[in-house]
Amino acid sequence: MNSALSPLALRQKVRAGEHTGDTSGFAPGFVQCNIVILSADWANDFLRFCQLNPKPCPLIGAGEPGNPALPLLGDMDIRTDVPSYRVFRDGEMTEEIPDITNLWRDDLVTFALGCSFSFEEALLADGLEVRNVTAGVNVPMYRTNIDCTSAGPFVGKMVVSMRPFKAADAIRAVQICTRFPSVHGAPVHLGDPGLIGISDLALPDYGDAVSIEEGEMPVFWACGVTPQVALEAARPPFAITHSPGCMLVTDLRNSQLAVM
Amino acid sequence: MNSALSPLALRQKVRAGEHTGDTSGFAPGFVQCNIVILSADWANDFLRFCQLNPKPCPLIGAGEPGNPALPLLGDMDIRTDVPSYRVFRDGEMTEEIPDITNLWRDDLVTFALGCSFSFEEALLADGLEVRNVTAGVNVPMYRTNIDCTSAGPFVGKMVVSMRPFKAADAIRAVQICTRFPSVHGAPVHLGDPGLIGISDLALPDYGDAVSIEEGEMPVFWACGVTPQVALEAARPPFAITHSPGCMLVTDLRNSQLAVM
């Protein structure tokens, strides 16, 4: 499926405006990241929020203030190498644009967070069926009643993604994802969705509903939408994120994230 | 709680007839084993049964034919060092005795299998509540509809033990027990008991029922009673096992069983 371009070649197409859509399925085997860009005076609180909430906000890389490079993640320029950006002013999205060169400032700090594509690849490689992949839809995501630990203005409830499995596969999924703490790690819940404040699985807050078959249970992972919700609550004067599904593709291999 | 005797000191008391009851809570930190003793002409099939069904029948040690020593498990004599034995003739239990010296033969082979005490200790050490320990009762065990892989005359369904946990603790329990494959490893099922053929959790086939609180789910582990059921099905002319709860206490530390 999709392109087997190297991460660098894909980023070069993105930079040239030749790839503007989502990155799911591209550069298989390589880590894709959620992106949050904040001014330096907001960055410390956000960094602390990530450290206090590592399951929804697993920090893979951070840039220096004003520097658009992330050398540990590959040869890249964060101003041009994400297919689509969302710009927020006072917590409201004001633009969705393919390039932020004109908005760059010498006080901006980039955060790259792990994303579920990496663990979905590990589940698929083990022979498990990932329903949202099979159905070709976005994974369903739900706001829960699980409080994040707040850091300054960054507060909020955890958002989770859901994938249904038979119990034995859910147990296997816990084992597989435990190896990958930097891409959300093991599930945070399984079974009764009401216990974490989800009233109807057919009505996700983000993404698309998926079928749950006889004998399957819903399994819930901490989700990278959580930091976006915290960002909306914090209402910084200026922030930039990737557009949903349009991730930063890095040179890190998913297998390099495995802790054992 | 209970005695902090060394495993060797405890075995010496057992050997001298000074400890005849169950071994739960004794020699904390050390591996206790289920015991099956068969004649050599039945031993190969049983060994194969264990290898084909490692979750219910995790083999930790095996003796040489006719040799009552298990040197890798400690300085011991299998004829005297288990507090109570059950003797089976043609599949029927005929005696329950504290010493099998008079029954020993030069064709008998001893098998030592991992037991849930080891992983319960790891769960407790992590701060999880193990309901049967809290309640001071035997863990509830159930016959399931899960087929074991047969080996010669050894056939049967898997027996499981059940411990209730909140979902987040169930996920943690999967992580902890994954480290200990030689004492049943990760759970085999969680959630709906009907999916593995259990109709009523309040009516265990062995052991004692335990309470399941609001917000908890039953979590099921492969159980060491499984090989005893297979033994009953196989009906060997002669066999000896430990009496339930009266285990062989070894010099192996539980932590030595961790694979990572």
Is the pLDDT at B19 greater than 60, yes or no?
yes
Which residue, among A144, A165, A174, would best test binding to B if mutated, counting the most B CBs under 10 Å from its CB?
A174
Average pLDDT over chain A, rounded to an integer = 95
Comparing CB atoms, the residue among A168, A191, A260 nearest residue B217 is A191
User: ∠A95-A96-A102 over CA atoms, to 5°?
Assistant: 70
d(CA A176, nearest CA chain B) in Å: 10
Q: How confident is the model at residue A3 (pLDDT cuts 50, 70, 90)?
A: low
The answer to whether B38 and B47 have CB atoms below 8 angstroms apart is: no
Judgement on whether residues A155 and A246 belong to the same structural domain of the protein? no
- The CA distance from B206 to B139, in Å, is 8
Tens of pLDDT, residue by residue over A75-85, are 999 999 999 99
CA distance B202 to chain A (A): 21
Q: Closest approach of chain A CAs to the CA of B233, in angstroms?
A: 27
Range of the domain at A128: 117-226
Number of separate domains in chain A: 2
With beta carbons less than 8 A apart as the criterion, state whether B243 and B34 touch: no
Query: Which CATH number is A207's domain given?
Result: 3.30.2040.10
Q: Which residues of A touch B (CB under 8 A)?
A: 167-168, 170-171, 174-175, 178, 186-192, 195, 215, 217, 260
Model confidence at B1, pLDDT cuts 50, 70, 90, reads very low
In this structure, is residue B59 part of a structural domain? Answer: yes
Q: Give me the half-sphere count of Cα atoms (radius 13 Å) on the Cβ side of residue A62.
A: 17
- Confidence band, pLDDT 50/70/90 cuts, at residue B3: low
Same domain, A36 and A123: no
Q: Residue A195: closest CA among chain B residues belongs to which residue? A: B215
Q: Do B167 and A175 touch (CB under 8 A)?
A: no
Q: Is residue A121 part of a domain?
A: yes
- What is the token pair recorded at A121? 């690849």
Could you tell me if B109 and B50 lie in one domain? yes
With cut-offs at 50, 70 and 90, classify the pLDDT of residue A1.
very low
Partner residue facing A174 (CB), from B166, B174, B217: B174
- Is 80 exceeded by the pLDDT of residue B144? yes
What is the mean pLDDT of the segment spanning B12-18?
A: 96
Chain B hits for A192, CB-CB cut-off 8 Å, are: 167, 215, 217
Spell A90-110 as b/e; 16+ CB within 10 A means b. eeeeeeeebbbeeebeeebbb
- Is B167–A215 a contact, with Cβ atoms under 8 angstroms apart? no
Interatomic CA distance for residues A181 and A113, integer angstroms: 12
By the 8 A CB rule, do B115 and B60 touch?
Answer: no
- What span, in angstroms and rounded, lies between the C-alpha atoms of A41 and A235? 13
Question: Tokens representing B162?
Answer: 């059940």
Query: What distance in Å separates the CA atoms of residue A178 and residue B34, rounded to the nearest whole number?
Result: 30
Ordered alpha helix ranges (H), B4-146: 7-15, 40-52, 116-125, 131-135
Helical residues (DSSP H) of chain B, grouped into ranges: 7-15, 40-52, 116-125, 131-135, 167-178, 225-234
A100 and A127: one domain?
no
Residue B49: pLDDT band by 50, 70, 90 thresholds?
A: very high
Same domain (yes/no): A158, A253: no
φ, ψ dihedrals at A98, nearest 5°: -90, 5
Q: pLDDT, tens digit, for every residue of A159-208?
A: 999 999 999 999 999 999 999 999 999 999 999 999 999 999 999 999 99
Measure in Å the smallest separation between the Cα of B19 and chain A Cα atoms: 39
pLDDT in tens, A19-65: 998 898 899 999 999 999 999 999 999 999 999 999 999 999 999 99
Please write the tens of the pLDDT for every residue from A238-259. 999 999 889 999 999 999 999 8
Provide the 3-class DSSP secondary structure of residue B12: helix
- For residue B151, pLDDT over 50 is answered with yes
Can you state the angle between helices B167-178 and A167-178, rounded to 10 degrees?
70
Q: The tokens of B105 are what?
A: 């033969």
CB pairs under 8 A between A and B: 53
Residue type at B174 in one-letter notation: V
SS3 of B181, please?
helix
Residue A84 CA neighbour count, 13 Å, CB half: 11
Please report residues of A whose CB lies closer than 8 A to that of B178.
175, 178
Amino acid at position B17, single letter: G
CB contact under 8 A, B175 and A178: yes
Contact A175 B170 (CB under 8 A): no
Going by pLDDT thresholds of 50, 70 and 90, the confidence category of residue B4 is confident
In chain A, the percentage of residues whose pLDDT exceeds 70 is 99
A216 with A131, same domain: the answer is yes
Residue in B178, B189, B195 nearest the CB of A175: B178
pLDDT attached to residue A4: 79
Backbone phi, psi, residue B141, to 5°? -130, 145
Our measurement of the distance from residue B117's CA atom to the centroid of its chain's CA atoms, rounded to an integer in Å, reads 8
Distance CA B76, CA B74 (A): 6
CATH assignment at residue B40: 3.40.1640.10
CA distances from B207 to A50, B136, B203, B223 (A): 46, 12, 9, 12
Q: Are residues A218 and A240 in the same domain?
A: no
At B260 the pLDDT is: 80
Contact: A190, B178; criterion CB under 8 Å: no
Rounded CA gap, B140 and B161, in Å? 6
Nearest residue of A to residue B218, measured between CA atoms = A191
Chain B residues in contact with A217 by the CB 8 A cut-off are 191-192
Residues β-bridged to residue A96? A86
A68/A123 same-domain check: no
Q: Which of B104, B122, B196 is nearest to B159 (CA)?
A: B196
Residues of B in contact with A171 (CB under 8 A): 174, 186-190
Within this chain, do residues B107 and B186 fall inside the same structural domain, yes or no? no
Is residue A55 situated within a structural domain? Answer: yes
Residue A32: inside a domain, yes or no? Answer: yes
Closest-CA distance of chain A to residue B27, Å? 30
Shortest CA gap A218–chain B (Å): 11
Same-domain status, B192 and B131: yes
Q: Do A195 and B170 touch (CB under 8 A)?
A: no
Nearest CA in chain A to B195: A215
User: What are the E-state strand segments in A82-197?
Assistant: 85-89, 92-97, 108-113, 141-147, 157-166, 189-190
Q: How far is B153 from chain A (nearest CA, A)?
A: 28
Q: Return all residues near B16 (Cβ < 8 A) that are at least 6 apart.
A: none
Location of structure tokens 């197409």: A13
Is residue B28's pLDDT more than 90? yes
Mean pLDDT confidence for A225-241: 95
Nearest C-alpha neighbor of A150 from the set A36, A62, A37, A48: A48
Inside any domain, residue B2: no
CA dist B159 and B220 (Å) reads 10
The answer to whether A63 touches A109, Cβ cutoff 8 Å, is yes
Kind of pairing between the strands at A216-222 and A157-166: antiparallel
Residue A107 lies in a domain: yes
Q: Same structural domain for residues B16 and B82?
A: yes
Please check the confidence at residue B74 and state whether its pLDDT lies above 90.
yes
pLDDT at B161: 96
B244 and B187 in a common domain:
no
Amino acid at B68: P
CA distance A35 to chain B (A): 28
The per-residue pLDDT for A127 is 97
Q: Is residue A1 part of a domain?
A: no
pTM strictly above 0.90:
yes
Nearest CA in chain A to B171: A174
Tell me if B171 and A174 make a contact (CB, 8 A cut-off).
yes
Of A186, A215, A217, the CB nearest to B171: A186
Averaged over B78-103, what is the pLDDT?
Answer: 96
Q: What are phi and psi of A22, to 5 degrees?
A: -80, 165
* B175 belongs to a structural domain: yes
- Name the interface residues of B facing A (CB cutoff 8 Å): 166-168, 170-171, 174-175, 178, 186-192, 195, 215, 217, 260
